[in-house]
Structure 1
């Protein structure tokens, strides 16, 4: 067996300066990732704003999650077939359409539809990483892809304070008009400054495989996200998990037999890529714990004895420095990867994240404690997110870059969703009664979630340590 090609024989020539290309693609990633947190301050308000049941308004968040999960692998495969820039523009146009529909909505159904369209743009980040691999000189790829990957965390961290500020000074529809304007601006910049990749895979699109994968992902993620409300032992929850398992088995059989698979499982099951994706899923679990715990600790009344009694705007501002820290760590991640390899960088990032959660679990009685903890955690995420694309691209042929990065992005999303479900159960079960406030999550629940975040980061480090080094892979192919 021969080793996979990991470099191109000829340096690409592009009509724009590499920094401009990286800036445009990273901006696109930030705009898309903002949509994941932009509605968080509105979630408790939507029932009154829309005249709907709270259980129904939860679909405003769930629809985005499910649409993104289904879209990412499909968009990745289409991108390898027909062009990455073309699919990037499709994603951005769908984002703008979804934002406009959401901005015009006055009831639940059109808002959910608009949010689903926004979710379909989730493939922008893996597409940006793939374009960078195809278009940039080899010496710039590491730092560029690290920046692009970090845009996921940056958008998520900045979305909360920005949306909280807008909600306080303007109508909630302004959030979606702003998203539409930003999406349109980025679309124009991509049209003007981002060339098309010369890489193509060809072949046919595997529609049956895409449908099976969609059923599997919707069943899995819907079961995870709704299991806490429906009951983890309830018939609907287990039915969804059962459907997901059957569909996933059917998908695996289909992909191994078709000549043009949606996801090349023969490549994906190879040890370097398989372990990288497992580590990404576990790391996604670790990353999301901060977003769930810190805002609640900050906003709980001081009468609880551990809440800090701050506004949602302050809670968002506490997380904002972490988003900037992720960008700042991108070049550091690239330099460590260039010298010691992305495997080492991912392990270092996991250790830093675990340390940050350790700080948070021990110290959370003042705002500055949580600011410090979030900065340390974000620094580790910045290191790790910069290393993941490098590990993926070193393990796949250049013609499968978009599909492979999309799968890695999907694994992170599954980790994020699982973290939300687990943390939700713990915060709902471990409670205390405070006079005048009623039942609230206990301090021990927050500490336990943070310790789980630290533990999952260390698990991700252990999985990463099992990824073969390039020298080991070369020897294995002799």
Structure 2
């Protein structure tokens, strides 16, 4: 990993610093679920097809997966606050595009920009690690990490209220206003990053990563509609099978890789990322399917016949629990190590699901539970704590010595 270059840093405003970054994370996370209550109405509102409407969600998954590591690495090299502001600017621009148009193509493009802003969360975490004293890092990072779930839980009921009582463009104007507010707050109290990495930006690695992710995610998200054995699906999966080995070979040989695969292959990093992926899968599967299930008519025998507002409110306790338990998680990590905190999380997640009678819902919940149990297994194989205890002097610097970058933290 190239050595870092110190640059001048402005002092943070400690009373507001963490809160502002967490608020930015919540706003970005809200964007990910903002259109879910609107989806059933999009074809009529825009004169499009249901398949085209589904792209309002699919495109945020694609751009979020592609731009999070790219903007994270760029933040290491060109300044994390600068790239944080760029990400918030992209979110605001995407929100304005959606607010001023009812054309499905423009809406999809705007949603693509909103998804790209997901890099705000790992950038915020990396800034916290640079700026905060060691004793405050764990609790602050725990809060920032929880914003993804908080925003998703809050976004659904708020968006549902807007859809029911206002013009649907209103929620995009509101998100644009929140983006502008975020930019102003970051300029006010978030300092410039004190460290930057040397080296050139790995453009070839970024293109290869983008192509590989798009091929895989597009095949997965559209495979059910296209057919899993259709030429388009098989072509994308075949392209991914070719791109990933070539990209990996290039990243291992270049001097300034976008993703340091040698660091990523270490058991502590690899198993942590696998566990995080499975935990996220289980969380979103439970959240989105629960919201849909409670809206099903009572005549089905399992649905509650609830409105979209009520279905969104059913997810709100999860967001509130994340706020309340993030300091508890930090305390467990500081006392027993992060492995203990992850173990506790995935154990509770695997045990908390309903069993509706409809086979499709039951299957999804069981798959989500299986993902959580798989995360539990991955966590059990994580190595124990070998560095200074989290929250103590030297802990974060020891962790930083592994060469982990913002791009790798966002994996």
- What is the TM-score when the length of structure 1 is the normalising length? 0.78
CA distance in structure 1 between the aligned counterparts of 2:240 and 2:71, rounded to whole angstroms:
21
Task: Determine the structure 1 residue equivalent to 2:347.
Answer: 351
Give the Cα–Cα distance (whole angstroms) in 1 for the partners of residues 278 and 292 of structure 2. 23
Partner residue of 1:104 out of 86, 90, 100? 100
Aligned to 1:8: none
Deviation at 1:472, TM superposition (A): 9.3
1:207-222 equivalence runs, <5 A:
207-222=203-218
Provide structure 1 residue ranges, at least 5 long, that are not aligned to the other structure. 5-11, 365-441
Deviation at 1:321, TM superposition (A): 1.6
Which of 177-186 and 57-66 deviates more?
A: 57-66
Aligned equivalents of 2:386, 2:203: Cα separation in 1:
38
Tell me the SS of whatever aligns to 1:336. Answer: helix
Of stretches 105-114 and 332-341 in structure 1, the one that deviates more from structure 2 is 105-114
Secondary structure of the structure 2 residue equivalent to 1:203: coil
Name 2:147's counterpart in structure 1: 151
Q: Describe how 1:193-208 pairs up with structure 2 within 5 A.
A: 193-208=189-204
Q: Does 2:80 align with 1:165?
A: no
In 1, distance between residues paired with 2:195 and 2:307?
Answer: 49
User: Is 2:220 the counterpart of 1:240?
Assistant: no
TM-fit CA distance, 1:19 = 4.0
What residue in structure 1 maps to residue 131 of structure 2? 135
Q: Which residue of 1 aligns with 2:392?
A: none
Indicate whether 1:463 and 2:378 are aligned. yes
Cα separation, 1, equivalents of 2:15 and 2:136: 9
- Looking at structure 1, the residues matched to 143 and 241 of structure 2 have their Cα atoms a distance apart, in angstroms, of 35
User: For residues 317 and 386 of structure 2, what CA distance do their matches in structure 1 show?
Assistant: 38
RMSD between aligned alpha carbons?
A: 2.0
Work out the CA distance in 2 between the residues paired with 1:286 and 1:58.
21
8 Å contact kept, 2:10–2:192: no
2:155 alignment partner, SS class: helix
Match of 1:43 in 2: 39
Asked if 1:330 corresponds to 2:245, the answer is: no
Looking at structure 2, the residues matched to 253 and 128 of structure 1 have their Cα atoms a distance apart, in angstroms, of: 30
DSSP 3-state at the match of 1:458:
helix
Gaps of 5+ in 2: 2-7, 389-397, 403-411
CA spacing shift, 1:324–1:444, aligned 2, 3 Å: same
Provide TM-score, normalisation by structure 2.
Answer: 0.90
Cα distance in 2, alignment partners of residues 450 and 109 from structure 1: 33
Map of 1:219-368 to 2, 5 A cutoff? Answer: 219-357=215-353, 360-361=354-355
CA, structure 1 residues 108+355, in 2 after alignment: closer, same or farther (shift >3 Å)?
same
Q: Distance in 1 between matches of 2:277 and 2:373?
A: 13
Distance 1:351 1:122 in 2: 27
SS in 2 for 1:18: coil
Deviation at 1:17, TM superposition (A): 4.0
Contact map agreement 2:99 2:172 (CA 8 A) in 1: yes
In the alignment, the residues of structure 1 paired with residue 63 and residue 13 of structure 2 have an alpha-carbon distance, to the nearest angstrom, of: 34
Name which of 53, 57, 74 aligns with 1:57.
53
1:259 to partner: Cα distance: 0.1
Shift of 1:96: 0.5
Give the corresponding residue for 1:413: none
1:347 and 1:157 mapped to 2: Cα distance? Answer: 23
Q: Matched residues in 2 for 1:67 and 1:48: separation?
A: 26
CA offsets 1:110-149 (integer angstroms, 9 cap, x no match):
1111111111111000000000000000000000000000
Q: Does the Cα contact within 8 Å between 2:88 and 2:117 map onto a contact in 1?
A: yes
Deviation at 1:327, TM superposition (A): 1.0
Distance 1:130 1:174 in 2: 33
- 8 Å CA contact 2:339–2:382 kept in 1: the answer is yes
Partner of 1:385: none
Quote how far apart the aligned CAs of 1:14 are: 6.4
